[in-house]
Structure 1
Amino acid sequence: MNKRLALLILVIFFSISLAKAQRYGTAVGLRFGNSNQYRTVGFTAQQRISKRLSIEGIIQSDFKLNTTLSALMEKHHPIISKRFNYYYGIGPSIGVEESFVKDPETMQILHTYGNSTVGLDLIGGLELTVLNTVISLDYKPNINLMGREEFYRGQVGISARMVLVKSKEQKKKQRQRQRAKNKAQKVPLNEQINTLFTKKN
């Protein structure tokens, strides 16, 4: 067991050192979730909005009785390098879910489904970017605010997302937009108006 663990750690370090992929700006892919109640398959999209902040949207379903949508703000912290980090976040969630109500008098559990739910999701996990792919392992507890009997449900998830826009490309575009904006601000207003009329003629 110890040999396998040591081998796994060596593979991770080796992958990080050889990886040519940059930190991601935009990444999309699949997320597989598992809880005590059900298993889900979902779509996940992450967008980096600053150096250590990202927004993640997750829509997941068991294709039977449970479908949820979450929007999470996440903060990232590097562990070994920029490509291997831990993160945590929080955000609202909505969905259609089943619910289990315990009746102490009859000693029965009343099962209902089709309940519209509103809740708050927390998330914490590890993330590795390698070969243009972001692989993450997370724990995502849900706190129910409305629509379900259970106040708390926890879920473990594994995600694999493809990097669509690298961090360097995103920063380059942001600098280009900022330069264009600064250049436009330097042009006097009367010249901007004259340019508009000149184009029309």
Structure 2
Amino acid sequence: MLNDIESKAFLCATCGTLVNEEGAEGAACPVCGSRLQRRKKHSLQRTWALTIASIILYFPANLLPVMDVQVMGDSTSNTILGGVIQFYQYDMYFICAVVFVASFVVPIFKMTVLLYLLTTLRKKSGLNNVQKTRLYYIVEHIGKWSMLDVFVVAIMSGLINTGYMLNITGGLGIVFFSAVVILTMWASGSFDTRLIWDKGD
């Protein structure tokens, strides 16, 4: 009887509604109207591709300058790490901590967790399915905070421009960093948590 129910039940990936209808594959969710699927199609392939791409782009994002500051004609370029060090040297510890967490801790944590989830789907690991699912939702919720650096550079570039005296422009590194943030958000969004429960620990 339980198998009968499981074969008919669909969990909407958008709103979480359980739809218990036979032959509901591809039908619209009665609550939000999204297309019902037992599993997201090609979820693993997309998540792997996006995660690997974000890891590759993370290197130029940290090696290339993210911001160019021109003061009285003298130009200074800073990478993300260079900016963190500069904030620290100027005793701006709070900003230094925020930038460090948003630029290093969060992206690395996201990519590490996604790799962990992908590689442990078909084998036993230190965490059970409940813990893996909770870990995924942590990643899903903190991912957008990495865009903080991008917003800071964009705001400073737009507001601080006095010509010869002071001019701030975004560097190529911020483009790569934006791509990393977007790719990791897409990767977590394409991952189907129901795959974690397909094979119990």
Fold conserved between structures, TM > 0.5: no
Q: Where is the helix percentage greater, Structure 1 or Structure 2?
A: 2
Normalising by structure 2, report the TM-score. Answer: 0.22
Q: Where is the strand percentage greater, Structure 1 or Structure 2?
A: 1
